[in-house]
Amino acid sequence: MDRSQLGWERSHDNGAIMPRPPHQRTTIIEVARQAGASKTSVSRYFSGERERLSPDLQGRVAEAARRLGYRPNRMASGLKGGRSRLIGMLVADIRNPFSVAVMHGVEQACRERGLSLMVCNTDNDPAQEREHLALLASYRVEGLVINAVGSPDRELQALVDQGTPLVLLERELGEVEAEVVGLDNARALDLALDHLQTRGYGELLYLSEPPEQASPRQARLMRFLQGIAARDLVGEVHCRPLGEREALHRAIGDFLAGPGTAPRALLCANGNATLAATRALQELGARLGETGLLGIDELDWCALVGPGITTLAQPTEAIGRAAVECLMRRREAGECTTPSRRVQFQASLISRGSTRR
Amino acid sequence: MDRSQLGWERSHDNGAIMPRPPHQRTTIIEVARQAGASKTSVSRYFSGERERLSPDLQGRVAEAARRLGYRPNRMASGLKGGRSRLIGMLVADIRNPFSVAVMHGVEQACRERGLSLMVCNTDNDPAQEREHLALLASYRVEGLVINAVGSPDRELQALVDQGTPLVLLERELGEVEAEVVGLDNARALDLALDHLQTRGYGELLYLSEPPEQASPRQARLMRFLQGIAARDLVGEVHCRPLGEREALHRAIGDFLAGPGTAPRALLCANGNATLAATRALQELGARLGETGLLGIDELDWCALVGPGITTLAQPTEAIGRAAVECLMRRREAGECTTPSRRVQFQASLISRGSTRR
DNA sequence: TTGTAAGCGTTATCAC
DNA sequence: GTGATAACGCTTACAA
């Protein structure tokens, strides 16, 4: 039996038999030697140039590699070739199911292309965003999918200068040259408003987290305001952190107790807002449907609460995949300055009892 | 102004001025030159040996690095030193909120230690598990947190031989030497059964995904069976993939229509089961509470459905952090064979209307 | 088709 | 304290 299978082998410099510590992974050199070939050939075998080798050599390399359990060291290949095979992703809030769903799409697209994904969660903290961006840069990621809440322009620009393709999810940021993938927020809000109006709701309360930084929140809010004006609806807006439960309850309570006579509905700007609103409505004893409720983002449980909550579903997987596609396109394009583009997806309405009176 | 700030600089071999392509990241050499120091000193500055440098030299290096926006290339340092600063995590189902919560704990613990996390989702696919394990190995991760569904023993053993510390989340696997972190399933089930019995439910249906591979499912199922016997409860078990909606509905329907007279309750082995059960109960028109429902894993929406769903909450963040702590302990321990341990956490009961008759 | 040799950016090992 | 210099494991001109 071959000694190497027992974890013993000849050392480099002399012919003596020495114990090989088990944590020594086999390298390309070892494979080359056992296959009676050169490093180059082994390298070629493993980097898509398999065809260029004679069938015989291919066989020997394959056999040796299999026997030794060889796997190229990504750290090393990332170093020389500049190919880290690594895509980075910055996620503002990993506990948000929407983010996870998009990430799932990103991940699949990466896998199909033989890329690995390194995900950094920032918990909505701009400081962590900067830190993680620098980190991803230090691993020389070949592309970056970004869902940030702050404006880490400096760090992003550094990445761009370094030649890293960037794709922004939803939130478009300052001046950085990058493509933006996300929902068609204007059409989504039109869809929501049309639905609510059709269902007879005349007074609306729009619930959102503060839109200051994040551009999709801005876009949605703007369109809401335009939309109610265009439709002769009455609208109010509450944009406070969802953590402020009291403020939220008071706002909703006041809204429901208002002087008007038209049926009232809540429009929630995202999944977290829908969750908070549902809680508040329950505590206020409101009946869903009588009080309308429509949320952007479809969640597992929306069908289960009361008569079901009407939502606007985003094509999350598709958004994730599209992000990676953009990245790849940019990478192919190379230095030729491709102008930034915008890829927009359409939301689809899932009508349930919460908007049926 | 310094030319290098304009993206121009002297080339290595001659004194001519050449344009520097923007995608050339500054290396340690550049910093060393601008600081009037050697690579070694710069390296020391950035790898915790800062103290050994004279204050003067420290200042020069800091200044040069800052000016150039230098960051050590992790690929390179991972190569030479064997320190990738990378922790890998294998997640069976990234869309499961429980997994994400644990991952969040892992992530925080890593960050506090200056480690990066590389997460691989396997979508419950054993083939992907193998593939991703090999992948993580190829990035030379310094530790691995594993939440797998299959038994990729071969791949894991390879990692172990390579000297990579391993921690298994919940599922204990075959022969591999690794610590296991997770819930104290026996006590959790006792807690659940005691609660249900106290609330007067006498006939139970246990809902779980097939337990074949995953050891926590086995552990929970076994304890359920022991527990009902010990308590003189009547119990049934349904262990089919949750995707089989019809089978599930029929099982629940049959259970509810059974001959017995005691109040009936469903006990769900995890969050997914709770979701599926809730759906089924709604479609069957059962009233929560009258029909008991208790789920393992606390989810956002459990408080919102009907009278609220009683759950057993796991300390997810703590579990994640504990996993990383184990990893670090193992790494410190180094070669001296620390025996595998088991770290168990206690679930806590959140009582709601679904177990109040 | 195959091999040789020069890096990639860092850390480790010695000298000074 | 500080600095040459040799690895680390791989890719890639450039030869043969």
pLDDT tens by residue, B183-223: 999 999 999 999 999 999 999 999 999 987 668 899 999 99
Give chain B's domain count: 3
**pLDDT for A12:** 37
B298-311 average pLDDT score: 97
A301 and A249 housed in the same domain: yes
B305 inside 8 A of chain A by CB: yes
**pLDDT for B174:** 66
B298-302 average pLDDT score: 97
- How far from B109 is each of B91, B318, B341, CA to CA, in Å? 17, 10, 20
**pLDDT for A14:** 37
- Is residue B78, in this structure, part of any structural domain at all? no
- Is residue A203, in this structure, part of any structural domain at all? yes
- Is residue B38, in this structure, part of any structural domain at all? yes
Per-run averaged pLDDT (10 residues), chain A, 357 residues: 34 37 75 95 92 94 94 91 88 95 97 92 92 90 89 80 87 76 97 98 97 84 97 96 96 95 97 98 97 98 97 98 94 64 95 97
| Chain C footprint positions (protein CB, under 7 Å) | 1-13
CB A305 to CB B303 under 8 A?
A: no
**pLDDT for A4:** 36
A16 and A102 housed in the same domain: no
- CA distance linking residue A42 with residue A40, whole number of Å: 5
- Is residue B77, in this structure, part of any structural domain at all? no
Sign for the CA dihedral angle at A287, A289, A292, A298 comes to: positive
Closest Cα in chain A, distance from residue B301 (Å): 7
B72-95 average pLDDT score: 91
Q: How many CB atoms lie within 10 A of CB B234?
A: 14
Domain final residue pick, A72, A92, A119: A72
- Is residue B193, in this structure, part of any structural domain at all? yes
- CA distance linking residue B128 with residue A11, whole number of Å: 35
Strand partners, B207: B238, B268
A250 inside 8 A of chain B by CB: no
**pLDDT for B83:** 84
B205 and B288 housed in the same domain: yes
A209 and A273 housed in the same domain: yes
CATH of the domain at B16: 1.10.260.40
Q: How many CB atoms lie within 10 A of CB B349?
A: 17
Domain final residue pick, A22, A51, A72: A72
A79 inside 8 A of chain B by CB: yes
- Is residue A238, in this structure, part of any structural domain at all? yes
B89 and B153 housed in the same domain: yes
Closest Cα in chain B, distance from residue A47 (Å): 14
Q: Which residues contact B48 (CB under 8 A, 6 or more apart)?
A: none
A162 and A194 housed in the same domain: no
Interface with A, mutate which of B118, B119, B156 (most A CBs under 10 A): B119
- How far from A257 is each of A114, A197, A240, A286, B113, CA to CA, in Å? 57, 20, 20, 11, 52
CB A100 to CB B100 under 8 A?
A: yes
Strand partners, B348: B313
CATH of the domain at B259: 3.40.50.2300
- Is residue B97, in this structure, part of any structural domain at all? yes
**pLDDT for B148:** 84
CB A137 to CB B162 under 8 A?
A: no
B309 and B189 housed in the same domain: yes
Name which residue leads in pLDDT, A226 or B357.
A226
Q: For strands A143-147 and A166-169, give the pairing.
A: parallel
**pLDDT for A170:** 84
Which residues on chain B are in Cβ contact (under 8 Å) with A282? 304
B67 and B94 housed in the same domain: no
A276 and A338 housed in the same domain: no
A305 and A321 housed in the same domain: no
**pLDDT for B336:** 56
How much of chain B exceeds pLDDT 70, in percent? Answer: 90
- CA distance linking residue A311 with residue A309, whole number of Å: 6
Lowest mean pLDDT among A63-72, A156-165, B7-16, B298-307: B7-16
Range of the domain at B218: 185-313+349-355
A166 and A93 housed in the same domain: yes
Interface with A, mutate which of B80, B304, B335 (most A CBs under 10 A): B304
* Nearest residue to D13 via alpha carbon and C1': A40
Domain final residue pick, A51, A72, A93: A72
- Is residue A79, in this structure, part of any structural domain at all? no
What DSSP element (H or E) covers B74? helix B74-81
A223 and A264 housed in the same domain: yes
